[in-house]
Amino acid sequence: MFELILYEPEIPPNTGNVMRLAANSGARLHLIEPLGFSLDDRLLRRAGLDYREWADVQVHASLAACLDGLGQRRVFAVSTRGARCYTDLSYQSGDAFLFGPETRGLPDAVLQSLPAGQRLFLPMRPGNRSLNLSNSVAILIYEAWRQQAFAGAQRS
């Protein structure tokens, strides 16, 4: 199982999409306050459909509280300012992936608190600002899960 951490998410449909992704991939979702919306938000419910009841979602008052609760896990920050491509690593069950808010990304202090090798980026074409948050989460969690041979997945 992997841990997905959304630091101060702002856009309800993105978080709803990530909730649905967490439920379908077996990841646990951590939301760091303040949130830019209520968990009862109509747009969050619409994007997450009925997956909220199946997703393991925890809300934390701070990133420090979240990380304390996770214990000694490897934490990877995902940012356009990352130093290492997300495909250059071997992920382990229990790894945590930290994503910043949609309009401003992770604060420098948070990003710099992790070693350069744990600050990841997703390749993009030059001149573009960033990928959508829920798309970025999907790309990364499926790569990490693929490396685990999709453990726990139902094969159809």
pLDDT given at position 46: 55
Region 54-80: mean pLDDT is 94
What is the sign, positive or negative, of the torsion defined by CA atoms of 81, 15, 156, 26? positive
pLDDT range class, residue 72, cuts 50, 70, 90? confident
What is the sign, positive or negative, of the torsion defined by CA atoms of 16, 27, 21, 92? positive
Domain assignment present for residue 15? The answer is yes
Question: Do the beta carbons of residue 60 and residue 30 sit within 8 Å?
Answer: yes
Q: Model confidence over 9-19: pLDDT tens digits?
A: 999 889 989 99
6 is in an annotated binding site: no
113 is in an annotated binding site: no
122 is in an annotated binding site: yes
pLDDT at 47 over 60: no
Indicate yes or no: pTM above 0.85. Answer: yes
Residue of 102, 107, 113, 95 lying closest to 28 (CA atoms)? 95
80 C-beta neighbours (distance < 10 Å), count = 15
pLDDT given at position 45: 60
Residue type, 33: E
CATH code, domain carrying 55: 3.40.1280.10
Domain assignment present for residue 63? The answer is yes
pLDDT given at position 48: 47
Domain assignment present for residue 153? The answer is no
Region 43-61: mean pLDDT is 71
Give me the number of domains the chain comprises.
1
pLDDT given at position 4: 98
pLDDT given at position 55: 82
Domain assignment present for residue 85? The answer is yes
Residue of 139, 140, 131 lying closest to 105 (CA atoms)? 131
35 is in an annotated binding site: no
Question: Do the beta carbons of residue 60 and residue 32 sit within 8 Å?
Answer: yes
Region 128-143: mean pLDDT is 95
| Mean pLDDT, rounded, of the chain | 91
Domain assignment present for residue 155? The answer is no
Q: Give the DSSP H or E segment for 30.
A: strand 28-32
Q: Which domain holds residue 34?
A: 3-148
Domain assignment present for residue 87? The answer is yes
Domain assignment present for residue 18? The answer is yes
pLDDT range class, residue 52, cuts 50, 70, 90? low
Region 34-57: mean pLDDT is 70
Domain assignment present for residue 88? The answer is yes
